[in-house]
Structure 1
């Protein structure tokens, strides 16, 4: 490959991904263009599968493990079905970077042999196929992270032995738990954008509406899981990279606080920047699947192998306490209080997202929960601080890795490279600004105890993940709805609410705008183009409240689903 251009290398890698898919699973005819075929989920992808494969792949992670850990389903039959559906998904939306189905099936055979010999599973994820964002190292499998210059290397360096043997800490733990690893999913080169685009696989499209993005930077995970080519997988989030793909693809996903999930040994962008740390979180089709994956990883005691993980096992007492509050609400004596943030003071959300907020507000009100308006400290200040954090090195890290192949940077990447590198004194001052903002937000949250009527501050804040449903390419202009959570290091769980409907979500004329970007995003709304796109929201909790937020998200997700089903029947 010496002397090849970045385009030639990217093309070669793209073809190798397709060629790694068994010939029997490749489409024999081109898929219709998005203009003719927007939605490739549901019945469209099912036509290429057997009834048994559909049954397996449309069972959530909890349902699969209930069957594989009891011996009712074999690891091999589950793995083969999921691999087949993942292969189809990639050909529809470009969601995979690495395919290692043969190795996965061999691992599944070993799991079945263990079960046959010992009459018990290896662990709680025994036989569960788990997908991984292409930041995690799997022995013998390449990690490009979307960079052409990383092809054939270990994170851009010629270290063949390490690539053949090294695995990230999360990968090691998943294997110990009995999970089957079979693919790595697409990311944008640099990771620093809300759309998944790179010079290897091009663009990862949204399965529900292929005119739109799957989100980023865990966009491949979101698209694959939406197509049920995975029951659950792991992404990372530094500014919304788990939450945007979850919301855009109608999924559940969690951004935990720093220190809950092991990041050791994973590739990263602007590695060493620690004012806003990237965190690992699972995405899945159900909230209970998130809890399964999260608890399973914690059971491995990752704090003994990752110096940044807190020694904080799953706290069952918090989960039970939260369930007790939910049970009280079902008896008509609610002790839960929520805040609604209709907009962040910078950008008003598009009609589908505004309607999703109203649906959730109606649901909470009907359940007799206390609902208040959220009017926090300036979110513009949060964006300003985060922007300087992400540009602290002047774009040097991203420029270096793009320079390995001399490939161009996608215009969607939010790190400009036009700012000067900060010195140590400037970074220290920025860290102080961040801490002061965190204190300001904390104090505001505490004041809500005076108006909730529960004796506590609000239990969670409901707000958009983005001002739009799954976004049109090049139009992701505002990441403020997710980035403020990373700056505060709060816990946030995304849950699906509804879908954009061109007949309901009609444009609303406006004469006044919150900002220039508000005007731009307002004018971008096209009800015809957005029709069918998932519209999800996030439930934001305080720092290290993963047990509470996952429990509440499972409850709210179920109640909102009942509400939207009722709405559909009435219409």
Structure 2
């Protein structure tokens, strides 16, 4: 008899758990009420002092140790495998565990180092986690669909099952990275909360009443828990930036064509109006640079036809910190950010102004409402046919967060309609570009704004089934701008009370207001994004690192 989707999902969920060594299994999993925040001292009780030291070092610090021989790749890998195993038990953040293979790879790197007295590459011995869109040889890719279990992207007998590998996976291995787990995603990838019928809802490690974000939510949770120093996610509407922001981490959304996407699993493959992009989530801004720079050193444009031949440009990161100018979006004209997010934006503005930087209001043409209207059309080109086809493979139901896709496929766009959307997108990109240029007339320096300060979402993180507004992230995708998330502060029930005199401008505005509860959000991470122009990854990361320093100095 054919197994039901529940049986298949349960078998997969149990198989993931069984790959956690017995000595790393927790005797009791506390509820959110019993233990809201599982980071810091809570997780420390399960780790040795050496494991804490290793896992609380950023990617740059780790490779400084592994490439010099101060730490072995094996001891680093085991430490992160242990912390990742704890993370999954508390947060439901993993879809694939391959710790044994990772430790074997790490041992091979150590053997190479012992023989050659040199690292195998710039990421020698660095554990790197991957969103479950990456194909890794010997490892399954379900992408959150029960019907994809035991298949290659939902198809059987292709010969690619557990053999095919994504381009970036191979490049990371060539650079010396140790791959050890793949992280959870929402089915379809098209929601800002991570939930599927295999491992369930992915929780936020700082506040387990909240979501870890999506669709790279497993990555956000794992890196936020410090069960990974750096991991790769994807972003078509905020899916790197939302989890990075919700978990108080740094995240890079590069422009399309900068980092390789070749060989990735995906939903809506062939929708090319707004391309999904790959980028890192990490515990520091300098780690984003390390990973992006290292990947570009492999010349991915030789193997991915959509990657531009743009090597890492050191000159672009040489910013003049005495002459930076910022734009700021405090309200996008549609939805009011909740009090903690508004305070975080104000903190950044005040810290920059105190450091003698100019910050001007950002009032673009076209406005964001027009941009979002165009962007959201791209997600319904096929009437959600791909999603429903994937559900039907197992008979599993859609999760509640995907109710907007309906109970059955809707009407599809024809070629002329898609072409019209593409024309509108290009026109809006041109208008926005010229608005950006025009800011030169508004600044004291006479130069256009360098980057724009913006919320990532109206809330510090989403409460379950209450992520309703994506406008603060999606505008970046349609314009194809570079964006880096920077953590700022934590929510405070004392500092961030509810707006008692709030008057909603529309339904979305009211929903965002209603979703905020100071008690629930107390202690949650609050972040912003810095948005740069297209293909300005080097400059935007450098400014993000500088802004983080300015914030740190302002707090002391």
Same fold (TM over 0.5): yes
Three-state SS of the structure 1 residue aligned to 2:279 is: strand
Number of residue pairs matched by the alignment:
553
Give the C-alpha shift of residue 503 in structure 1: 1.2
Measured in 2, the distance between the counterparts of 1:225 and 1:504 equals 27
Q: C-alpha displacement at 1:164, in angstroms?
A: 2.9
SS at match of 1:365: helix
2:440 is the alignment partner of 1:449: yes
1:76-95 Cα distance to aligned partner (Å, 9 max, x none):
00000110000000001000
Conserved 8 A contact 1:497-1:561: no
Q: Give the Cα separation in 1 of the matches to 2:65 and 2:233.
A: 25
Structure 1: 4+ residue segments shifted above 3 A: none
- Which residue of structure 2 aligns with residue 360 of structure 1? 348
Q: Select 1:468's aligned residue among 459, 463, 478.
A: 459
How much has 1:512 moved relative to structure 2?
2.9
Task: Specify the SS of the correspondent of 1:452.
Answer: coil
Structure 1 residue 410: deviation in Å? 1.5
> Alignment partner for residue 142 of structure 1, among 140, 143, 150?
140
Q: Give 1:394's aligned residue.
A: 383
Q: Say if 2:352 is the partner of 1:380.
A: no
Q: Map Cα deviations across residues 264-323 of structure 1 (whole Å, 9 max, x no partner).
A: 001001001000000000000000000000000000000000000000000011112x1x
**1:204-242, Cα deviation, whole Å (9 max, x unpaired):** 000000000000000000000111110001000000000
Q: Is the 8 A contact 2:203 2:209 kept in 1?
A: yes
Distance between the aligned counterparts of 1:378 and 1:403, measured in 2? 39
For the residue of structure 2 that corresponds to 1:127, the secondary structure is coil
Give structure 2 stretches of 5+ with no counterpart. none
Alpha-carbon distance in 1 for matches of 2:123, 2:91? 28
The whole-number CA distance in structure 1 between the counterparts of 2:410 and 2:270 is 18
User: What does residue 477 of structure 2 align with?
Assistant: 486
Contact 2:440-2:446 at 8 Å conserved across structures: yes
Secondary structure of 1:412's aligned partner:
helix
1:332 match: none
Among residues 541, 556, 569, which one is paired with 2:532 in the alignment? 541
Structure 2 counterpart of 1:439, from 388, 405, 430 = 430
Q: Is the 8 A contact 1:391 1:415 kept in 2?
A: no
Equivalent residue number for residue 250 of structure 2:
252
**Aligned equivalent of 1:349:** 337
Task: Give RMSD over aligned pairs.
Answer: 1.1
CA drift of 1:414 comes to 7.3
Output the CA distance in 2 between the equivalents of 1:514 and 1:336. 34
Query: Matches of 2:477 and 2:45 in 1, distance apart?
Result: 41
Partner of 1:298: 296
1:149 touches 1:405 (CA, 8 Å); kept in 2?
yes
Corresponding residue to 1:48 among 40, 46, 49: 46
Partner of 2:13: 14
Q: By how many angstroms is 1:437 displaced? A: 1.1
Alpha-carbon separation, structure 1, partners of 2:17 and 2:553: 40
Give the TM-score of the pair, scaled to structure 2.
0.98
Instruction: Determine which of 328, 345, 348 is the counterpart of 1:340.
Output: 328
**Paired residue secondary structure (2:209):** strand
Bigger mean CA deviation after superposition, 484-493 or 514-523: 514-523
SS in 2 for 1:35: coil
**Map of 1:120-519 to 2, 5 A cutoff?**
120-159=118-157, 161-320=159-318, 322=319, 325-326=320-321, 329=322, 335-376=323-364, 377-413=366-402, 416-417=405-406, 419-519=410-510
- 1:168-187 Cα shifts (integer Å, max 9, x gaps): 00000001000000000000
Deviation at 1:513, TM superposition (A): 2.4
**SS of structure 1 residue aligned to 2:416:** helix
Instruction: Flag structure 1 segments of 5+ consecutive residues without an equivalent.
Output: 330-334, 567-571
Contact kept? 2:147, 2:393, Cα under 8 Å: yes
- C-alpha contact (below 8 Å) 1:192/1:415 kept by paired residues: no
CA contact (8 A) 2:385 2:410 kept: no
CA separation in 1, counterparts of 2:290 and 2:179? 16
Taking structure 1 as the reference length, the TM-score comes to 0.96
Q: CA deviation at 1:439?
A: 1.2
Does the CA contact (< 8 Å) of 1:395 and 1:415 recur in 2?
no
Tell me the CA shift for residue 429 of structure 1. Answer: 0.6
Is the partner of 1:164 in helix, strand or coil? coil
SS in 2 for 1:205: coil
> 1:423–1:160: structure 2 CA closer, same or farther, 3 Å change rule?
closer
- Contact 1:193-1:414 within 8 A present in 2 as well: no
Q: Is the 8 A contact 1:187 1:216 kept in 2?
A: yes
For 1:164 and 1:422, locate their aligned partners in 2 and report how far apart those are by CA, in whole Å.
35
